[in-house]
């Protein structure tokens, strides 16, 4: 009986993910395969742009019941839309320089059509802004964000302040989230109801001026 129930639930979840992909305007749902095993969703197939791949992942994470997402999607641009490595490098440099949230200390290396972000930032949101700025560009097939945060002093009340930030958040159940701080590294454990809540918890930790790393171990429960 347990196996039958799981198969039926997985089948329902597969349908919901496929429906959400079709509901997402910047995703060609017909090009993406969806397989589900006990709440773990595996996406496969080919898309034309890296931004479409990211959009497909985000759409899947929005579906209630998705515990884990395995990304087997490949980016394969059409020959008509091919962009040279030189053009990619120029567009990446322009995007980084014109983004108001990306500091001058962040720069990029372009290898073929793969972008590697390097340098330092004061805050995680700046690192995330750099990734968003380049992942939507034509010709970019992958983004490896290696930007580090500048060194910060630890604080004895960092754990308490992060816990209070999580408790204030309407999307989060603070009773199910445990915060541990070692130096300037935060570890989040426990469970949340959605991927959106998981990201919100991480953002609450990253907002601390005494954090340089967040180990997000929160499980997404059904």
**pLDDT tens, 186-205?**
999 999 999 999 999 999 99
Per-residue confidence band for 8, with pLDDT thresholds at 50, 70 and 90: low
Same domain, residue pair 120 and 143: yes
> Where does residue 157 rank: exposed (0-12), middle (13-18), buried (19+ CB within 10 A)?
exposed
Q: Quick one: tokens of 51?
A: 């931004």
Residues 6+ apart with CB under 8 A from 101: 125, 126, 129
Residue 101's alpha-carbon distances to 114, 147, 160, 207, in angstroms, are 22, 14, 28, 15
Same domain, residue pair 67 and 86: no
Per-residue confidence band for 221, with pLDDT thresholds at 50, 70 and 90: confident
CB-CB contact of 112 with 85 (8 Å): yes
Which of 60, 76, 92 terminates a domain? The answer is: 76
The residue-averaged pLDDT of 147-160 equals 94
With H, G, I as helix, E, B as strand and everything else as coil, classify residue 153.
Answer: coil
Q: How far apart are CA 61 and CA 10, in angstroms?
A: 15
C-alpha angle 64-159-121 in degrees, rounded to nearest 5: 80
Which of 90, 124, 149 terminates a domain? The answer is: 149
Same domain, residue pair 133 and 164: no
Same domain, residue pair 163 and 213: yes
Which of 45, 76, 107 terminates a domain? The answer is: 76
Place of tokens 């330092």: 120
pLDDT digits (tens, 9 = 90+) for 18-35: 999 999 999 999 999 999
Same domain, residue pair 65 and 40: yes
Same domain, residue pair 145 and 163: no
The CATH number assigned to the domain holding 163 equals 3.30.300.130
In the predicted structure, residue 80 carries a pLDDT above the cut 60:
no
pLDDT digits (tens, 9 = 90+) for 31-58: 999 999 999 999 999 999 999 999 999 9
Question: Which helix (DSSP H) or strand (DSSP E) does residue 185 occupy?
Answer: strand 185-192
Per-residue confidence band for 7, with pLDDT thresholds at 50, 70 and 90: very low
Q: Quick one: tokens of 80?
A: 């008509």
> Where does residue 1 rank: exposed (0-12), middle (13-18), buried (19+ CB within 10 A)?
exposed
Q: How far apart are CA 66 and CA 101, in angstroms?
A: 31
In the predicted structure, residue 4 carries a pLDDT above the cut 60:
no
Same domain, residue pair 104 and 136: yes
The residue-averaged pLDDT of 77-94 equals 85
Q: How far apart are CA 46 and CA 79, in angstroms?
A: 14
- Give me the number of domains the chain comprises: 3
Q: Give me the domain span that covers residue 96.
A: 80-149
The residue-averaged pLDDT of 161-185 equals 96
Same domain, residue pair 139 and 182: no
Strands 68-75 and 40-47, how do they pair? parallel
Same domain, residue pair 145 and 169: no
Same domain, residue pair 166 and 109: no
The CATH number assigned to the domain holding 126 equals 3.30.1340
Q: How far apart are CA 174 and CA 165, in angstroms?
A: 9
Q: Quick one: tokens of 171?
A: 């999307």
For residue 110, the tally of other CB atoms under 10 A from its CB is 20
The CATH number assigned to the domain holding 25 equals 3.30.1340.30
């Amino acid at each position: 009986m347990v196996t039958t129930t799981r198969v039926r639930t997985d089948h329902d979840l597969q349908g919901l993910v496929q429906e959400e992909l079709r509901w997402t305007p910047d995703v060609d749902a017909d090009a993406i395969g969806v397989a589900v095993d006990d709440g773990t969703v595996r996406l496969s197939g080919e898309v034309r742009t890296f931004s479409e791949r990211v959009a497909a992942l985000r759409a899947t994470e929005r579906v209630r019941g998705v515990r884990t997402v395995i990304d087997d999607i490949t980016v394969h641009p059409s020959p008509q839309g091919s962009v040279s490595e030189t053009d990619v490098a120029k567009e990446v440099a322009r995007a980084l320089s014109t983004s108001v949230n990306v500091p001058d200390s962040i720069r990029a290396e372009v290898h073929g059509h793969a972008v590697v972000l390097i340098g330092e930032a004061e805050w995680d949101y700046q690192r995330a802004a750099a990734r968003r700025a380049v992942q939507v560009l034509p010709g970019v097939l992958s983004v490896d964000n290696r930007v580090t945060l500048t060194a910060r002093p630890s604080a004895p009340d960092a754990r308490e302040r992060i816990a209070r930030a999580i408790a204030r958040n309407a999307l989060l159940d603070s009773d199910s989230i445990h915060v541990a701080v070692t130096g300037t590294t935060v570890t989040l454990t426990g469970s949340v109801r959605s991927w959106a809540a998981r990201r919100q918890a991480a953002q609450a930790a990253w907002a601390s001026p005494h954090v340089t790393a967040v180990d997000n171990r929160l499980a997404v429960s059904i």
